[in-house]
């Protein structure tokens, strides 16, 4: 305990916050992944205790109990997301630069097939009620639907704009997808593969991340104008909003804690308590790391996981020119882990080495490293 206290005191002398005392989440540790390249979505298989992390040309697989890498899925080009069908023993990766989705054997982590999609598949979603997979194709402005077991394409759905993240509500049998450049939510009938409706997100603009509370039928949507929007997924009505950070990208809702969270590239996570169908209250702004804008959570432990990296100092720009994007340090890619404790900081907190601590706890401007 004394060693912990001394370590905390040392970091505080440097002006660093080891954990925020005003909320339930605290920094726990970082998991080193290394290698080069950008990243996008993370996915959790809670039963198998596996975390899937998209990283450039592969998906890295992490054991969530040991917090260490246990394998990877290679042969992907510009991978964005990874969807899971545990009951089929299959996973699905969106390989954006080759306009394909890969079908993966979850036991062997081998690719057993690839499916042609629309241009630049980004978000990928498995719909268990129909055993179908949807890829949401950014430049294709469409969704490709294929059978999970066979890979047979059954539909291509024009969406009219650039799709981002999507979720499924089995009670409505509908898929909800953010159309980023139109500030709308596309509503897809999962049975007929028809675009059933488009709903305005106003006052939200340029939405990316989305999550759903299946009990209340509420969508939580993070928008580019620093808002988290709550929408009724049965009517399309916006019921409330709360502010978020700059460059918010991912959104999760944990039904076990009733917390909705949005991760921002400026280096924080907005944590909000869902208190009623029309009431959302921000209870914490959790300091993370510059560029840590994608996130997932473990419904068993309620930990959250964010992809991040360390960066070199950006050179001074020429007069009148915008600042250049900082360069990622070699082999610095990692996953940041934050622990949940209703009463505040957990008893056992692993302090990072000093350089990692500085990187983890320093905020900055929004930085999109994904593409």
Both tokens of 153, joined, read: 């394409």
Structural domain count, the chain: 1
Tell me if 352 is assigned to some domain.
no
Task: Give 316's pLDDT tier (boundaries 50, 70, 90).
Answer: confident
Torsion of CA 52, 53, 59, 64, to 10 degrees: -40
| 142 or 353: which leads in pLDDT | 142
Q: What is the mean pLDDT of the chain?
A: 88
The residue assigned the tokens 């500085």 is: 358
pTM as predicted: 0.86
Residue 87 has pLDDT above 90, yes or no: yes
**192-238: pLDDT as tens digits:** 999 999 999 999 999 999 999 999 999 999 999 999 999 999 999 99
Both tokens of 293, joined, read: 């804008």
- From CA 232, how far away is CA 352, in angstroms rounded? 41
Residue 351 has pLDDT above 50, yes or no: no
The 3 state secondary structure assigned to the chain is CHHHHHHHHHHHHCCCCCECCCCCEEEEEEEECCCCCCEEEEEEECCCCEEEEEECCEEEEEECCCCEEEEEECCCCCEEEEEEEHHHCEEEEEEHHHCEEEEEECCCCEEEEEEECCCCEEEEEEECCCCEEEEEECCCCEEEEEECCCCCEEEEEECCCCEEEEEEECCCCEEEEEEHHHCEEEEEECCCCEEEEEEECCCCCCEEEEEEECCCCEEEEEECCCEEEEEECCCCCEEEEEECCCCEEEEEEECCCCEEEEEECCCEEEEEEEEECCEEEEEEEEECCCCCCCEEECCCCCCEEEEECCECCCCCCCCCCCCCCCCECCCCCEEEEEEECCCCCCCCCCCCCHHHHHHHHCCCCCCCCCC
What percentage of residues in the chain have a pLDDT greater than 70?
87
Neighbouring residues of 369: CB distance < 8 A, sequence distance ≥ 6: 38, 39, 291, 309, 328
**143: containing domain:** 40-200
pLDDT given for residue 218 in this prediction: 98
pLDDT given for residue 349 in this prediction: 42
pLDDT given for residue 162 in this prediction: 97
pLDDT given for residue 22 in this prediction: 77
Task: Give 354's pLDDT tier (boundaries 50, 70, 90).
Answer: very low
Tell me if 295 is assigned to some domain.
no
pLDDT given for residue 344 in this prediction: 62
Specify whether the CB–CB gap between 253 and 209 falls below 8 A: no
The residue assigned the tokens 């080495």 is: 353
CATH of the domain at 127: 2.130.10.10
Mean pLDDT of 347-356: 40
Task: Give 329's pLDDT tier (boundaries 50, 70, 90).
Answer: confident
Tell me if 116 is assigned to some domain.
yes
- From CA 89, how far away is CA 199, in angstroms rounded? 35
- What b/e sequence results for 3-38 when a residue is b if at least 16 CB atoms lie within 10 Å of its CB, and e otherwise? eeeebbeebeeeebebbbeebbbbbbbbbebeeebb
């Amino acid at each position: 305990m004394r060693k912990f206290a001394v370590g905390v005191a040392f970091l505080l002398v440097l002006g660093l916050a080891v954990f925020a005392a005003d909320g339930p989440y605290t920094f726990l540790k970082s998991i080193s992944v290394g290698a080069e390249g950008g990243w996008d979505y993370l996915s959790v298989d809670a039963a198998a205790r596996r975390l899937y992390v998209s990283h450039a040309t592969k998906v890295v697989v992490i054991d969530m109990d040991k917090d260490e890498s246990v394998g990877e899925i290679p042969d992907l080009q510009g991978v964005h997301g990874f969807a899971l069908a545990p009951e089929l023993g299959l996973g699905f990766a969106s390989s954006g630069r080759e306009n394909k989705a890969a079908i993966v054997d979850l036991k062997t982590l081998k690719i057993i097939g690839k499916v042609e999609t629309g241009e630049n598949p980004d978000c990928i979603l498995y719909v268990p009620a129909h055993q179908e997979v949807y890829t949401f194709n950014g430049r294709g402005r469409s969704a490709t639907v294929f059978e999970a077991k066979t890979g047979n394409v059954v539909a291509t759905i024009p969406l009219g704009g650039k799709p981002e993240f999507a979720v499924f509500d089995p009670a409505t049998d509908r898929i909800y997808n953010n159309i980023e450049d139109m500030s709308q939510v596309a509503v897809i009938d999962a049975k007929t593969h028809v675009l059933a409706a488009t709903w305005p997100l106003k006052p939200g603009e340029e939405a990316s991340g989305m999550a759903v509370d299946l009990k209340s039928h509420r969508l939580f949507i993070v928008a580019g104008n620093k808002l988290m929007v709550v929408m009724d997924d049965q009517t399309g009505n916006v019921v409330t909003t709360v502010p978020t950070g700059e460059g918010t990208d991912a959104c999760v809702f944990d039904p076990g804690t009733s917390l909705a969270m949005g991760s921002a590239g400026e280096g924080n996570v907005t944590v909000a308590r869902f208190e009623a169908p029309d009431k959302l209250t921000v209870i914490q702004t959790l300091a993370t790391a510059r560029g840590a804008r994608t996130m997932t959570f473990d419904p068993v432990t309620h930990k959250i996981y964010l992809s991040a990296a360390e960066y070199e100092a950006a050179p001074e720009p020429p007069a009148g020119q915008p600042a250049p994007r900082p360069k990622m340090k070699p082999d610095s890619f990692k996953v940041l882990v934050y622990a949940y404790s209703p009463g505040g900081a957990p008893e056992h907190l692993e302090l990072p080495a000093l350089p990692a601590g500085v990187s983890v706890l320093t905020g900055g401007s929004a930085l999109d490293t994904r593409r």
